[in-house]
Amino acid sequence: MSCACGHHHPRLPDSRDPSGTPIELARPMVALSGRLICADARQMMAALSLLPDHVELSRAEPGNLRFDLWQDEDPLIWHLAELFRDAEAFAAHQHRTADSAWGRDGGDLGRDLEQREVMPAIRAEQRGDRDAIDRLLRETFDGKDEARLVRGLRDQGDLTLSLVAEAAGTILGQVALSPLTGERPALALAPLAVAAGARGLGIGTALVREAIARAEGTPVVVLGDPGYYARFGFEPAELASPYAGPHLLVLGQLPRGAAIGHAPAFAAL
């Protein structure tokens, strides 16, 4: 569908499982959830003094993907949500913790914990994901531009599709499609982001493949590394664009030399 802005706005039907498309990893991630329970005010004060360093050190571990602790309305209880890249990363966490101040002095707290193996899945962005997506983009690209881009696309009605990779309630990756102006309907793929600790697992590849599948044959244009995107079938794009050059790539058929224009939010980058 085209509108007065000159962009084609393809309707991408979403008849897929709302729980998401699974990403099959070579090794599952490890999620930990539950409660820490203090017996009395003394234990609570000890926990208050020990937990800040424990959280900071845990989040700094290369295999940690999430480490959140928050106090309940009952001040003697903390809730936790943790996610690790795999069992090896979780074992490294346990080993480091055992030789830490928290391991030595926090062992007498009650624990009501559940450990489980999880695989990430890809699903459409939901309203509650927006802050996590913003944070992921700022951390991935070490700046605010890509986060500003996605917010602009969303606010201006140009976010045709935003997919996230999620595991145990943690956003690990995101990819977006937005409309292009031109002779034929086409979509721009940008940005693509994967959390630092989750790279090398195939999450980015899975996100791109899912975005292409949901485009349902609509040509997709990307500005990126030709070596990376060639695996999906992208080829050099001979198109008239401010981004024309060796990194402008297309998957699908667009007329040679045709002019394309990105959504207005790109102009703010």
**What digits encode the pLDDT tens for the residues 40-51?**
999 999 999 999
Backbone angles phi, psi at 20, to 5 degrees: 110, 165
* Residue whose pair of structure tokens reads 């996230």 in the numeric block: 164
In angstroms, the CA 1 to CA 97 distance is 56
Q: Are residues 127 and 247 in the same domain?
A: yes
Report whether 162 contacts 150 (CB < 8 A). Answer: yes
Q: What is the CATH number of the domain that holds 114?
A: 3.30.70.100
The mean per-residue pLDDT over the stretch 200-220 comes to 97
Q: Are residues 149 and 72 in the same domain?
A: no
Q: Are residues 148 and 175 in the same domain?
A: yes
Which among 118, 138, 164 is the end of a domain? 118
Count Cβ atoms within 10 A of the Cβ of residue 108 and give its class: 0-12 exposed, 13-18 middle, 19 or more buried: exposed
Kindly tell me if the per-residue pLDDT of 22 is higher than 80. Answer: yes
Q: Are residues 79 and 125 in the same domain?
A: no
For residue 15, what pLDDT is reported? 42
Structural domain of 79: 29-118
In angstroms, the CA 141 to CA 4 distance is 33
**What digits encode the pLDDT tens for the residues 101-142?**
999 998 889 999 999 999 999 999 999 999 999 999 999 999
For residue 235, how many C-alpha atoms fall within 13 Å in the half-sphere facing its CB?
9
Report whether 165 contacts 174 (CB < 8 A). Answer: yes
**What digits encode the pLDDT tens for the residues 157-167?**
999 999 999 99
pTM over 0.85: yes
Q: Are residues 169 and 92 in the same domain?
A: no
Name which of 156, 202, 200, 207 is nearest 179 in CA terms. Answer: 156
Q: Are residues 176 and 207 in the same domain?
A: yes
Question: What's at 179, amino acid-wise?
Answer: P
The mean per-residue pLDDT over the stretch 21-37 comes to 97
